[in-house]
Structure 1
Amino acid sequence: MTLIDQVNWSSYDEDVLGSMFEGLLEKAANESKKGAGQYFTPRPLINTIVQVMKPNPFESQNFTLSDVACGTGGFIISSYEWFKRQQSTKLLSAEDKIKLFNKTYFGQELVTRPRRMAQMNLFLHGIEPNIKLGDTIYDPFDKNLFSCILTNPPFGNKGLNQIPDRKDFRIKTSNKQLNFVQHVLNSLQDNGRTAIVLPDNVLSDEKALELWKITMPEYNVHTILKLPNGTFLPYANVKAVVVFIQKGSPTKHIWFYDARTNIPSVTKKGRPLTDNHFFDFIENYGERPDGDAQRIDGGDDGRFRKFGIDQIRARNYNLDISWLIENESIEDNYFEIEDITNDTISELESIIDSLKELSNLLEKK
């Protein structure tokens, strides 16, 4: 804090101030398992999602972007920085600047401290800090709709662990991640798009199968990215995916990209997550945010595969699909003791979450 106080903040422009603050957030996240870290999505992952989703504030007159579990505001800032690389904000008209900085970026956060950090993050980038404080899935639906939603909802079932009293939720469950999916889908404008970071269990849990079954006739679940093991260490050691969805057309097929199998696990220090983990995915995804670019199925030995809706129906909408053969020698003997303890904690938390879900079901009977 002494170093921060010694900085003459007023001597820097907004771009420098914002970058400095982002750097401080990242440093805090990397150095501690507590504090900012648990609300800080790895920037290589955020930047990858933003790059393929291309959130251009001027693609339509009413374009808006939201992160419904925004933490320190990483998705919002990365989206803004992506746009700046496409077009200089200095060349915008006064009217367009008002739209960009005041009427484009929105967020919501449950916890006061990260919400304040997100507000400061946006403010230092010159963006109106439209960050709502509240519970995204348990508070009443405010019916605000957005063109693009990029989000990484919190993993696990810490919190109320109850079924939300939301009439707009068609699947009744206490599974927090499934409820975030329902909220996001209901919050999209017509032809809106989203990318949601989710744990693997959202691909195959019983309630998840129900959700995907009723979702796919109305939404195009077009791409699923399987993330490397250890992506969120040390804050959460769960296997996770990114699900890309476009509103307004039914799902005809789903493309899966496996960035996990036969990839050495990410570790906090020795093998951190970098942009290199996602270069091939970005290239294969293509130039269209809606996933409709020309793509090539890599076959049984490739990382990018296409599965038709008939194949998905035959699996009863279970989206936990694997095809690559695991090569155990890839991992070699490299490990960190922290990884082992986190693996154990993750397994125990998964068991506890399952027991809580069962308890809720039994209470209804």
Structure 2
Amino acid sequence: MTTQDIVQKLWNLCDILRDDGINYSDYVTELVLLLFIKMEHENKESGLLQAHKLPDYAQWPEFTSRSGLNLLNHYKSSLLRLSQSTDPLIAAIYAEAQTSLKEPRHLEQLIKSLDSIDWFSAKQDGLGDLYEGLLEKNASETKSGAGQYFTPRPLIDSIVHLLQPQPGETIQDPAAGTAGFLIAADAYIRSKTDDYYDLTEKQRNFQRNKAYLGMELVSGTRRLALMNCLLHGMEGDDEGVVHLGNTLGSAGSGLPKSNVVLSNPPFGNAKGGGGPTRDDLTFATNNKQLAFLQHIVRHLKDGGRAAVVLPDNVLFESVVGTDIRRDLMDKCRLHTILRLPTGIFYAQGVKTNVLFFQKISQAATGSTQEIWVYDMRANAPKYGKRTPLTRGNFADFEACFGTDPLGQTTRIDQGISGRFRRFSRDWIASEKGDSLDIAWIKDEDTEDEADLPEPAVLAREAMDELNTAVVELEAILAELGQDEE
């Protein structure tokens, strides 16, 4: 069986389990809880592990030898005990873990299906590839809502290819999701070092345990990320590669500075929990992407490089948005903006970009002298299930970007009829008022009503802009001492 065959076999089970009220996201989480136990068993059987990490009660034969209510009750009990494990990584994977299964026969079906898989074939292609295939299936199923934290793999691979992470560098994703960026960076380095065999033992240990660090706010998503990393041979520190915490709170301020930052921060303004509560950011804002952008600049080492996926509002938002963009262009050399096509994320109307920049220093000014913009959006195909996004779609952009990860190779301005153009810092200031929402190609489909965002998306965008305006007005009133009135 190929990895794709196994993914499809496991995915088909979800249709059966929906009789038990299981949705797609719950199903993937349920698989994670069992897959870790099965993985430990397979690794022990094949001799890859000298001893089990899991206690006796949670080893695979304890589940295959039971049935009915005895099995379901043992499973529930095991999850609770594993969540209280003294091993920090096991405790993290099973933190707050509860089964959604109510029917014992459904649990039996899951266990039998995992037991019947040709794990030798799975290992040939990589257990990590199998798991990522399940995550991608979950993200593409719009009803699951999982697409909000799943960045398309072709986009991730293109970004990593351009930034060229190196052995010995620290790589951070402050909005890790399922850890796609960190895993792709590790895969890139492995491909350049003969799967680490070209490195010394000390260098290999650094790559496995210290090179990568992510932070994720949602414990369930972090569980998916930890499993993803483990299946790709990335162990991290005692808490794993991805730590649980709020990057926009005190946990984020404690993250170290890194050589490379790769991230796709969550879209939208903060509502309720998860909003910025840090006091070390230069500009106060409830716009999560603008707050994440400030974190990334602050937590890049001098000379470090970053690529960040951000929605259009970050490019044109006024007042504090303008201040944050100016601050970015002072402290960093913002050298490239990629205008992405619509429809590649779960919310079809969301328009996004990738900002590529190099940190000069926290005290620098005037670091950005010119910005190159590549428009992949105008007159582009409508990507989706019928027209999937592929790595090949980024070939022309990669050629224009060049072979230098800092964007310092010779580049050619293609003029008004091309997709790649250069804009001076002076022109951006005088003509755009420091807005970075720069477009010049007439999109022939812009007036096609069928291509407009859904009304709910338009309403959500309008609400976000209004909420931002209210916060900014309240801040102005507070400064004037009129907040009580």
- Determine whether 1:218 maps to 2:326: no
| One-letter amino acid matched to 1:17 | L
* TM-score relative to the length of structure 2: 0.68
Cα separation, 2, equivalents of 1:66 and 1:147: 8
Secondary structure class of the residue paired with 1:190: strand
Matches within 5 A, 1:289-328: 289-314=405-430, 315-328=432-445
Q: Is the 8 A contact 1:66 1:76 kept in 2?
A: yes
Q: What is the match of residue 317 of structure 2?
A: 205
Q: Quickly say closer, same or farther: Cα 1:4–1:26, change in 2 above 3 A.
A: farther
Aligned match of 1:48: 158
Task: Give the equivalent residue in structure 2 for 1:170.
Answer: 282
Q: Which of 102, 110, 115 is the equivalent residue of 2:217?
A: 110
CA change 1:5–1:202 in 2 (3 A) is: farther
1:238 is displaced (CA, Å) by 0.5
In structure 1, the partner of 2:383 is 266
Maintained 8 Å contact 1:225/1:258: yes
2:352 to 240, 254, 263: 240
What SS does the corresponding residue of 1:90 show, helix, strand or coil?
coil
1:155 to 267, 291, 302: 267
Q: Does 1:133 pair with 2:244? A: yes
Structure-2 separation of matches of 1:208 and 1:225: 19
Distance 1:293 1:244 in 2: 14
* Structure 1 Cα separation of the partners of residues 473 and 270 of structure 2: 19
Distance 1:190 1:5 in 2: 50
Higher relative contact order (CA 8 A, sep 6+): 1
Q: Where in structure 1 are there 5+ consecutive unaligned residues?
A: none
CA distance in 1 between counterparts of 2:448 and 2:471 reads: 42
Q: Which amino acid aligns with 1:87?
A: T
SS at match of 1:320: coil
The 3-state SS of whatever aligns with 1:242 is strand
CA deviation after TM superposition for structure 1 residue 182, in Å: 0.2
SS in 1 for 2:126: helix
* CA gap 1:238/1:181 in 2 versus in 1, 3 angstroms: same
3-state secondary structure, aligned to 2:197: helix
**Quick one: distance in 2 between partners of 1:294 and 1:245?**
17
Instruction: Please say which structure displays the higher CA radius of gyration.
Output: 2
Secondary structure of the structure 1 residue equivalent to 2:250: coil
1:90 is aligned to: 197
- Structure 2: segments with no counterpart, 5+ residues: 1-30, 32-109, 362-366, 478-485
Query: Per-residue deviation at 1:29?
Result: 1.6
Task: Report the counterpart of residue 4 of structure 1 in structure 2.
Answer: 114
| TM-aligned CA distance change 1:199 to 1:15, over 3 Å | same
Q: Tell me by how many angstroms 1:326 deviates.
A: 2.0
TM-score, normalised by the number of residues in structure 1: 0.90
CA gap 1:323/1:235 in 2 versus in 1, 3 angstroms: closer
**Structure 1 residue 327 displacement after superposition:** 2.0
Shift of 1:91: 3.4
SS in 2 for 1:91: coil
Q: Which residue of 2 aligns with 1:33?
A: 143
2:73 paired residue number: none
1:64–1:104: 8 Å Cα contact kept in structure 2? yes
Contact conserved, 2:334 with 2:357, CA < 8 A, in 1?
Answer: yes
Identity, in percent, stands at 41
State whether residues 251 and 309 of structure 1, in contact with CA within 8 Å, keep that contact through their aligned partners in structure 2.
Answer: yes
Q: 1:163 to 1:119 in 2, by over 3 A?
A: closer
Residue matched to 1:283: 399
Residues of 2 paired with 1:362 and 1:323: CA distance?
32
1:357 to 468, 475, 484: 468
Q: CA deviation at 1:11?
A: 8.3
Q: Aligned residue for 1:193? A: 305
Deviation at 1:12, TM superposition (A): 5.9
Q: 214-223 or 188-197, which moves further after superposition?
A: 214-223
RMSD of aligned Cα (Å): 2.3
CA distance in 2, matches of 1:348, 1:99: 47
Higher helix fraction: Structure 1 or Structure 2?
Answer: 2
Quick one: distance in 1 between partners of 2:324 and 2:387? 36
